[in-house]
């Protein structure tokens, strides 16, 4: 994916220019600790012997770097530049460039994770429901979906400017954005200034994300055939929490058997 720009330095593709500085901006995140919690959740709620994990919107592959020590993992993301960083970080891991709403893989997983609020990029309620149904389609019986949601509508503050500085004195990064709300979406136009030896680069990325209440997530999980659990505690980022969907083992097996019976009836008697 190439990032086309207008004359004001606006990048049409979020996570295009950001890929080069993402790890420096989020250096404060403790991916090792989060990965250990993911492992504990998959072991506790997933099927016995769970070992296949799909990280949807895996970004630069930080969680996968740790999860690959315990599971057989695959990473999926819609951004080519983010995946290029991920492939360098964990060359042994397989990555797929695709959108979470529409990806189709021929394999099934014991756990599908979608962390750091990436789910918000699906934007609308209908799209959230289609995305959860797509996750459920890729689960094995008894499998789990772990989602770190985006901020709740009641907690998203607008009208204030946010400023952050990152990087090092040799590689300084400044990010500033104003939060706006349009309908049920949060819009953040993020201005980046990055100091390099060749000069100061400036670009703007527009992050447009759906603001969904807990009940909207719950309905999407349930419609996808998953038992919804809001895990206790604050989760990984602020008070966003963690949502878990569990595919009932028996139900899934019954549905699978019904599907097989229906298919063999429609084929007629075997010779």
Sites of contact with ligand SAM (CB under 6 A): 15, 57-59, 62-63, 77-79, 82, 99-101, 115-116, 118, 121
Tokens coding 51: 């070992």
Q: Minimum distance between the CB of residue 236 and ligand SAM, rounded to whole angstroms? A: 8
CA-based end-to-end distance of the chain: 51
Name residues whose C-beta falls within 8 Å of residue 190's C-beta, 6 or more positions apart in sequence.
Answer: 175, 176, 177, 204, 205, 206, 207
Tally of CA atoms within 13 A in the half-sphere of 211 that contains its CB: 18
Query: Which C-beta is closer to ligand SAM: that of 47 or that of 212?
Result: 212
209/246 with CB nearer ligand SAM: 209
Q: Helix, strand, or coil here: 140?
A: strand
Minimum distance from residue 123 beta carbon to ligand SAM (Å): 9
**Closer of 111 and 142 to ligand SAM (Cβ):** 111
Residue 39 beta carbon to ligand SAM: minimum distance, rounded to whole angstroms: 15
For residue 11, give Cα distances in angstroms to 2, 34, 182: 10, 30, 20
Q: Are 243 and 231 in contact (CB under 8 A)?
A: yes
Q: Is 51 exposed, middle or buried (0-12, 13-18, 19+ CB in 10 A)?
A: middle
Do 116 and 83 contact (CB within 8 A), yes or no?
A: no
Q: Which residues contact 6 (CB under 8 A, 6 or more apart)?
A: none
CA-to-CA distance for 76 and 160, rounded, in angstroms?
33
Q: Which is nearer to ligand SAM, 62 or 142 (CB)?
A: 62
Closest contact distance (angstroms) between CB of 193 and ligand SAM is 20
Pick 230 or 237: Cβ nearer ligand SAM:
237
For the bound state, the minimum distance from the C-beta of residue 243 to ligand SAM, rounded and expressed in Å, comes to 15
Smallest gap from Cβ 49 to ligand SAM, in A, equals 25
Task: Report the residue closest to ligand SAM, judged by CB.
Answer: 59
Minimum Å gap between C-beta 199 and ligand SAM is: 27
Q: Pick the closer one to ligand SAM by CB: 131 or 139.
A: 131
**C-beta of 115 vs 145, nearer to ligand SAM:** 115
Minimum distance of ligand SAM from residue 61's CB (angstroms): 8
d(CA 9, CA 113): 33
Residues written for the chain: 271
Q: Which is nearer to ligand SAM, 121 or 243 (CB)?
A: 121
CA 70 to CA 77: how far, in whole Å? 21
């Amino acid at each position: 994916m190439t990032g086309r720009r207008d004359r004001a330095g606006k990048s049409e593709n979020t996570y295009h220019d950001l890929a080069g500085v993402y790890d420096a901006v989020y250096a404060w995140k403790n991916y090792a600790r989060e990965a250990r919690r993911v492992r504990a959740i998959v072991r506790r709620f997933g099927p016995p012997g769970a070992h296949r994990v799909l990280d949807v919107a895996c970004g630069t592959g930080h969680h996968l770097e740790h999860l690959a020590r315990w599971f057989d993992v695959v990473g999926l993301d819609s951004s080519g530049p983010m995946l290029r960083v991920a492939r360098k970080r964990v060359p042994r891991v397989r990555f797929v460039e695709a959108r979470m709403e529409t990806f189709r893989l021929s394999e099934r997983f014991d756990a599908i994770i979608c962390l750091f609020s990436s789910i918000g990029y699906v934007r609308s309620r209908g799209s959230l429901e289609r995305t959860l149904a797509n996750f459920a389609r890729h689960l094995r019986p008894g499998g789990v979906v772990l989602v770190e949601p985006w901020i709740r509508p009641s907690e998203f503050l607008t009208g204030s400017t946010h400023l952050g500085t990152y990087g090092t004195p040799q590689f300084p990064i400044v990010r500033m954005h104003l939060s706006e709300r349009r309908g049920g979406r949060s819009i953040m136009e993020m201005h980046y200034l990055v100091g390099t030896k060749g000069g100061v680069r400036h670009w703007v990325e527009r992050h447009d994300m759906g603001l969904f209440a807990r009940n909207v997530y719950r309905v999407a999980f349930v419609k996808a055939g998953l038992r919804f659990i809001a895990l206790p505690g604050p989760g990984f980022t602020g008070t966003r929490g963690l949502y878990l969907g569990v595919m009932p083992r028996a139900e899934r097996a019954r549905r699978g058997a019904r599907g097989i019976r229906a298919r063999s009836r429609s084929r007629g008697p075997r010779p």
